[in-house]
């Protein structure tokens, strides 16, 4: 009797477990069918004229180039305006960059100097400072001018006539007081040619500032100068 009761309870338990599992399987199968149907609907071919452009690439290019003249003009104006703005911006940047490279106001103030030479006597000279360098200003006598002109060009290391080294009146000679060898300052009224002598390495310059003896390779440099009025020299 007890065995029969046990078998009856086991059968009831198995039937209670099968029923939920059957429901789960049924719901899973219905979900799979729904998904499959939706996928099938999505895979159907779409209307060509609704979702795609029927115009070929050649016709599209022709349409862009010739189909809409107004649109083509607009595109040209837009591209031209963009290029013009880019060129203007580049020009502005370049101008600002170059402006930063210009010398400052204090440097421009030293770019030129006016010297009063009315008190300098013939045969004498003076030394001034221009752009941080010494400048020799000498008022030569007639004998010194004649001696500077009576010079054989073949004897000169850096051939220059005296006329090539003066600006205006021949009695005035203006040269930079910097030896062209190593940048020393020569001594006036000294040397073998009664001009300037550099004691550093023994370079001799004549009364025209031309190198005549020693290691210096070039003549004394002549800065730009002029005579704005009587008795004054503007250097620079």
Could you give the C-alpha distances from 223 to 103, 143, 186, 211, 226, in angstroms and in order?
19, 24, 17, 17, 10
What six digits make up the tokens of 165?
């080294």
User: What counts of helices (H) and strands (E) characterise the chain?
Assistant: 6, 10
Residue 161 CB-density burial (10 A; 0-12 exposed, 13-18 middle, 19+ buried): middle
- Of the candidates 172, 168, 177, which has an alpha carbon nearest to the alpha carbon of residue 117? 172
CA dist 37 and 20 (Å) reads: 26
The residue assigned the tokens 């003066």 is 166
Report residue 202: phi and psi, to 5°. Answer: 80, 40
Contact between 161 and 153 under an 8 Å Cβ cutoff? The reply is yes
Is 201 a catalytic site residue? yes
Catalytic residue among 60, 66, 181, 201: 201
Could you list the active site residues? Answer: 201
């Amino acid at each position: 009797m007890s065995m029969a009761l046990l078998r009856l309870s086991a059968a009831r338990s198995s039937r209670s477990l099968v029923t939920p599992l059957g429901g789960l399987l049924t719901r899973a199968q219905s979900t799979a069918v729904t998904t499959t149907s939706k996928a099938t609907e999505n895979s159907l071919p779409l209307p060509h004229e609704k979702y795609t452009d029927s115009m070929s690439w050649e016709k599209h290019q022709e349409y862009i180039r010739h189909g809409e003249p107004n649109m083509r003009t607009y595109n040209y104006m837009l591209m031209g305006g963009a290029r013009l703005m880019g060129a203007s911006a580049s020009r502005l940047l370049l101008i600002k960059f170059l402006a930063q490279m210009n010398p400052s106001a204090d440097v421009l103030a030293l770019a030129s100097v006016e010297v009063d030479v009315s008190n300098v006597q013939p045969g004498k000279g003076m030394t001034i400072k221009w752009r941080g360098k010494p400048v020799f200003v000498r008022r030569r006598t007639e004998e010194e001018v004649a001696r500077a002109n009576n010079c054989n060009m073949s004897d000169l290391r850096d051939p220059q006539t005296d006329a090539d080294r003066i600006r205006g009146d021949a009695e005035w000679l203006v040269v930079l007081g910097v030896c062209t060898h190593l940048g020393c300052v020569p001594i006036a009224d000294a040397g073998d040619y009664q001009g300037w002598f550099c004691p550093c390495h023994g370079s001799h310059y004549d009364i025209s500032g031309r190198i005549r003896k020693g290691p210096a390779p070039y003549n004394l440099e002549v800065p730009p100068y002029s005579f704005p009025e009587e008795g004054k020299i503007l250097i620079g």
